[in-house]
Amino acid sequence: YYILAYNKRHRELIINSYLKHVFNAAKAIEVKNRRRKLFTNMPTRDHDSFSSRKRAWSSVVFEHPASFDTLAMDHDKKAEILEDLDFFKNGKDYYAKIGKTWKRGYLLYGPPGTGKSTLIAAIAKHMDYDVYDLELTAVKSNTELRKLLIDTSSKSIIVIEDIDCSLDLTAERKNKKREEDAPDGGEKQKIPRMDYSERDESKVTLSGLLNFIDGLWSSCGEERLIIFTTNHIEKLDPALIRTGRMDKHIEMSYCTYEGFTVLAKNFLNLEDHSLLDEVKKLIENERVEVTPADVAERLMPRTRHEKDSRTPCLEKAIEFMKKAKEEKMKKEKDGDPQESTVDDDGLTASSEGGD
């Protein structure tokens, strides 16, 4: 340990200013040197303690390589998101001034494969926050959901992916509306509901989730981001995504030309090529809809020749986009709704799966 000696007349300066600075600097160094973690709500036993207490969250070291530099997204959209994040990170005094809990909600929506999960990883890296991946179907009640919230730390991101698939959060409202719309005369038809005691599934309600986001208990920590992802924004209850709960809605679109050039730079170290003009024409003029995940799959070199030449990878990506265009035109001509485009490798231009 160290001994700090000082002149008596400097006592106030040392105690009120210098020591406070030392403690804050030590805390900053600790935060800088710590390793980010990814948590999941799969309970484990804490074997390091004598009580073997059951923990709400288990974790692993989170070292995802994604960053905003490698994200296949338009520059302007990246800059907008980064500006919003930086304002939030430095906004402690501002949030205290306006009387709001220091937290912010993001809704990421768009087709599968457009980079929603990758964006979350990039946000975590930029902010240096831990990530709590909340699996709603594993939460048995609103009370348990509240306990999970209490056990999260500040400077963290709480993520609920594919929230439209996690729970039927609008079932209660639908049943109530059906009862209210029942024809007059006689006793209204009762809508049968399954007895919760007879099923082993989550009892989390829409009300419980709303309280989790911005109720009184949501203020038990600070400097938190809450992120929802969905492939179908139209399926979500408006109360869940209104401003004040999900403050910023970010559409994750199909691959743009600017996004394609980022991927070409990432995978092939390519900034200029004659084939890029054809790529630009397909994406911007002919409105071909392919996801960044599909483009990345084609741009990834499989052999040393492809890595050195780079042209074969671009040709594979262009060929895939042409197939996606033809498939889309065929379905539009037949009058069928657009479905997934499948190539010879069994990969799709769009699908109904996760991100």
**pLDDT tens readout for residues 153-200:** 999 999 999 998 877 665 445 555 555 555 554 444 443 443 434 445
Give residue 277's pLDDT.
95
| Tokens read off for 247 | 């403050």
Give residue 176's pLDDT.
53
Q: Which amino acid is at 28?
A: A
Decide if pLDDT at 30 tops 80: no
For residues 262, 265, 267, 272, the Cα torsion angle rounded to the nearest 10 degrees is: 120
Mean pLDDT of 68-73: 94
Reported as a single tens digit per residue, the pLDDT across 279-323 is: 999 999 999 999 999 999 999 999 988 888 889 999 999 999 999
| Per-residue DSSP letter, 53 | P
With 0.85 as the threshold, say if the pTM is over it.
no
Mean pLDDT of 21-40: 85
The residue extents of the domains of the chain are 37-171+196-251, 257-334
| Tokens read off for 300 | 């990834």
User: Residue 187: what are its φ and ψ, rounded to 5°?
Assistant: -75, 135
Most confident of 52-61, 168-177, 207-216, 284-293: 284-293
DSSP character string of 265-329: HHHH--S--TTHHHHHIIIIIS-----HHHHHHHHS-SSHHHHHH-HHHHHHHHHHHHHHHHHHH
Say how far apart CA 300 and CA 70 lie, in whole Å.
14
pLDDT range class, residue 40, cuts 50, 70, 90: very high
Q: Which of 104, 147, 63, 35 is nearest to 249 (CA)?
A: 104
Most confident of 212-216, 243-247, 278-282, 343-347: 278-282
Mean pLDDT of 139-165: 91
pLDDT range class, residue 43, cuts 50, 70, 90: low
Reported as a single tens digit per residue, the pLDDT across 81-96 is: 999 999 999 999 999 9
Give residue 332's pLDDT.
83
CATH architecture of 37-171+196-251: 3-Layer(aba) Sandwich (3.40)
